[in-house]
Chain A
Amino acid sequence: MSALMQEMSAKALKLNIPLSVQIDLTYRCNERCVHCYLDHDDHGEMTTAEIKHLLDEMADAGVFILTLSGGEIFLRKDFFDLLEHARRLMFCVKLKTNAVLIREREAARLRDLGVDSIQISIYSHRPEVHDAITLIPGSLKRSLDAIRFLKSQGLKVTIANVLMTQNAQDYPGVRALAAELGVECTLDPTVTPMMDGDRGVLNLGADQNMLRQVFRDTALVGDVEEFCAIPAKPGEDDLDSTPCSAGHTACYVSPYGEVFPCVQFPLPTGNVRQQRFVDIWRHSAQMNDVRSIRLKDLTTCPSCTHVSNCTRCPGLAYLEGNMRGPSSQDCGKSFARTGVPSANMLANERAGINPLQGNSGSASLVQIRALPAVSSATA
């Protein structure tokens, strides 16, 4: 993040402005990725008119960065209509897609509409591995063709790779492929529990051995000694800081109009079919509860060695049952990085729980339900 963007984020935080919002336009998808946390049925997506109205409200609220994601965004027949509306409102638009439906024509249209960047999921440089994750034969070829079409239009593309047992050895190949294509590449070692609360999918995630290997790869982390160092004791300022931007300068809207602090933090805070976006943002009790949390307020983490540089995700903690609690996945990452168990792991061990599994979470915490469209907002 540039210094100026950091300055703008600090200003947005002070003014309580949602600088960055992700909208999932649909949960429908043309791939069936084995690790995906979504239910791919349509439970009553927002209409074109509802989404345009939401975009108007978000522009009024000061949203600048708009990420359109899914499901697969190109399955919405009104996708370009919505994108055109968003660009007319001068959002900085970022897209997340598998790109299978992007051909020359779509790439040219994205360029004409001034899209900032496109993130495309690629899990391996080998078709037999990538296609076995998406469960769609030929999907790697289609996605790579799309990247070439987008690059030929001068668009900025980032390959997003998720580290799993199935593709653990392939990330160097994906990075080489990205370099060959002239695009950026990210590697995410996080697998998210299903939105219905099912945590079985976490078994697909990278284990400790894989994490240790990745965290000691200089090509990824730079100075390994520094990256894997045991953190210094936190200062008072560290403990007074907020966990992340979720609910502070960023939030997420589902295809059904539900507003959550983040795509990975499905705490229901309101629905834009029933309330104005800005009213949910400013006045939701749940959103304000999230905002009130400081590191010193967490249940186990303040006493943990890793507290000042842990990647703890409050959403993953919420999915474990307590948004003020630890996130076991992130404890695992800190352990793999430094070899020092987290306070949560030690507590679990004492309680006879698998230290890296944590709580099982609760399906009832999660809301995926369609609400009837508000007639006045429907064309």
Chain B
Amino acid sequence: MSRLYVARNPRVAARSLDGEMMIMSGRDSTLFTLNKTATILWQSADGTTPLDEIVEHRIVPEFQVEAAEALQDAETLARELASHEILQISEEPIPQRNNAAGESRPGEAR
């Protein structure tokens, strides 16, 4: 089975407000807020870590859910975020060019 890679779309605007991520679409300025799972997915979407590893290391320990089910849910969520051009998804690693060096969680107050 092929692996899925996810990356933050550099065209969006994003900021964490009291732990809740606000994302403004670069396509049409629609504002979204992400729930806790989606926020973890967004923060981990570096383009090089496969989705199954994000689920295994970040989502399963946080929510204490079964890994296979969590991966299926995460794939559905990633595809939904991609449909709004918030995330990019690919079966190959996605090079990132617009994230600040050393900024591990873009959009989050440090």
Contacts and interface: CB of A to CB of B under 8 A. Distances in A.
Contacts of B26: 114, 116
A2 to B, nearest CB: 6
Nearest to A5: B31
A140 B100 CA distance: 38
Contact of B24 (A60, A61, A116): A116
A108 B109 CA distance: 30
A12 B11 contact: no
B15 A88 contact: no
A93 B98 CA distance: 15
A370 interface: no
Given A5-B31, A8-B22, A117-B29, A63 B100 contact: no
Given A61-B109, A87-B98, A88-B100, A8 B13 contact: no
A60 B109 contact: yes
B29 A90 contact: no
Contact of A116 (B10, B18, B29, B110): B29
Q: How big is chain A's contact interface, by range?
A: 20 to 34
Contacts, number: 66
B14 A90 contact: yes
Given A62-B17, A90-B107, A4 B31 contact: yes
B13 A93 contact: yes
Contacts of B29: 116-117, 156
A114 to B, nearest CB: 4
**Residue of A15, A59, A93 contacting most chain B CB atoms (<10 Å):** A59
B18 A88 contact: no
Contacts of A293: none
A263 to B, nearest CB: 21
Given A4-B31, A15-B18, A59 B109 contact: yes
Interface of B: 10-18, 20, 22, 24, 26, 29-33, 98-100, 103, 106-107, 109-110
Interface of A: 2, 4-5, 8, 11-12, 15, 17, 19, 59-64, 87-93, 114, 116-117, 156
